[in-house]
A and B are shown apart, each in its own frame.
Chain A
Amino acid sequence: MDKRETTILVVDDDEDFRLQMKLQLEPAGFRVATAGSEIEAESALAAGRPDVAILDVMMENMDSGLVLCHKAKKRYPDLPVILVTNVVGDTGVLIDLATKDERSWIQADAVLDKPVRQEQLQREIKRLLKT
């Protein structure tokens, strides 16, 4: 797949996280689109299918990312979704995809903890784009 065609949608209410994703993904050859809220993300998704979506879990609501993930998958069932979270530190809620039960309700293809390590993120993106 030609990397220059690949669009990654980054959704996070943290302006700095969005900028940091841009700064590290653009030099790697991706096109980065950003949205700062659940609503913005929904219109971005309605406008077209990105190649990968990276969603923050906690935005205006505690579960914004999970709700968005659900909606994104409904619209584009094969869209790879990466959830990023620091939910454990803030609320004690732990999200992982270890069990089948959790995979079935969370629906995401990968879950990464904040701070997101660059190699890990790029590895996940590559893996998800191959399948």
Chain B
Amino acid sequence: MATETFRVLVVDDEPGMRSGVQRVLKAFRVSLPEEETQVAFELSEADSGEEGLHLIRTRPPHILLLDHKLPGMQGLDVLDVVAREHPEILPVMITAYASIETAISATRRGAFDFLAKPFTPGELRAVLHKAARHLVLQERAARLAKEKLQVRFQFISVLAHELKAPLAAVEGYLRLLQQGSVAPGSPACSQAVNRSLERLDGMRKLILDLLDLTRIESGHGRSKPGVVDLLEAARRSAEGVLPQAGARGIRVNVQSGPPVLVHAGPEEVDMILNNLLTNAVKYNRDGGDVEVTVAQDSQGTRLRVRDTGIGMSEEEAGRLFQEFSRIKNARTRDIPGSGLGLSIVRRLARLYGGEVAVQSCPGEGSTFTVTLPSNIPWAESGIASPGPGVP
């Protein structure tokens, strides 16, 4: 558990009050198990508003315990300055006149909480517990927002690169044609045109994958969940990859047998299967095999797609499901792909409370397993639950 120390400044003209706060805070720790944090406090004191502001300006505290009635400058005036100069400080007003008017006026000026004089050590601890929790949560939220922003930024810069590359290639071919280095109608010309079309096709697939990804992420446009026969969906998906598989003598075999039913969106199931089967063909060897099997028990459903392809090392498998993390080596060099397919599969599996994993051996092949729990958490995933009458 991490320990954090928050600075507390107490501004009160009564020495008894300051030493009382000192005694209470000395050994006091706030533990926030859900945040895995323990908070300690470090106290400093001021006997007037002016002295308090001086301390705030030299070393701003996290929490300010501020007396309402002070000899010179009044508590509310100090509060105004703090709100203006240090809005990150949490001010707690100490007031002898616990009137609603004071409370409202102080809240308007940025007070986080109140302590009515005379207060018990328990009340003081309760207020500090609340303030510490607020500060820890605030810090955490800020950190998460920053991390998210960084991931987003990285994603966009890689995406920009992935979109720029095909444009540069097509531009290169067009220039060759423009300069006349490649004669119209020559074999070189059709080579240039074919490659340009391939690159544009790859670019379109990237954009479509990107749209899938944003759709999943935003929660819009999901197909209505219903009962889907996984084997039937797998057979349809296998038919879809047949042209590419046939051209390279790869056999695609889907387990036969009675329907295996799952609750899911049909489009999402198709997306998972299409991505896995396309990969199983793309990264296979000529004359290889693809095998799709499904197993179901009380725990849930396991979909397996096994190929006899190039496989990958453990280290490569570790980063396989990240966006744009295509494994780059001599064997994958000329295989086109958006680098988003498996990250889409993972997002979809997780959407249904499931997971996707890979087992692989370089040179022998890979097996991708998608597990879906039998109780798909409809509510948490934000998908409307299947209507009555659905088994």
Contact = CB atoms under 8 A, between A and B. Distances in A.
Interface of A: 13-17, 19-20, 23-24, 27-28, 36-37, 39-40, 60, 86, 90, 114-115, 118
15 contacts: A14-B169, A15-B195, A15-B333, A16-B172, A16-B199, A19-B191, A19-B192, A24-B176, A28-B181, A36-B330, A36-B333, A86-B168, A114-B168, A115-B171, A118-B176
B58 interface: no
B330 A115 contact: no
B334 interface: yes
Interface string B141-179: 000000000000000000001000100110111011001
Contacts of B199: 16
A115 B164 CA distance: 12
A23 B333 contact: no
A33 B199 CA distance: 23
Interface of B: 161, 165, 168-169, 171-173, 175-176, 179, 181-182, 188, 191-192, 195, 199, 328, 330, 333-334
A23 B188 contact: yes
- The DSSP consensus for interface residues of chain B is helix
Contact of B330 (A20, A23, A37): A37
A23 B181 contact: yes
B181 A16 contact: no
A41 B179 CA distance: 29
B173 A20 contact: yes
B310 to A, nearest CB: 16
A23 B191 CA distance: 9
B182 A23 contact: yes
Contacts of A86: 168
B333 A20 contact: no
Contact of B192 (A17, A23, A27, A118): A23
| Most chain B CB neighbours (cut-off 10 Å) among A20, A24, A28, A39 | A20
Given A23-B182, A23-B192, A118-B181, A13 B333 contact: yes
Contacts of A13: 333
B330 A17 contact: no
Contacts of A39: 330
B191 A16 contact: no
Contact of A115 (B165, B168, B179): B168
A126 to B, nearest CB: 16
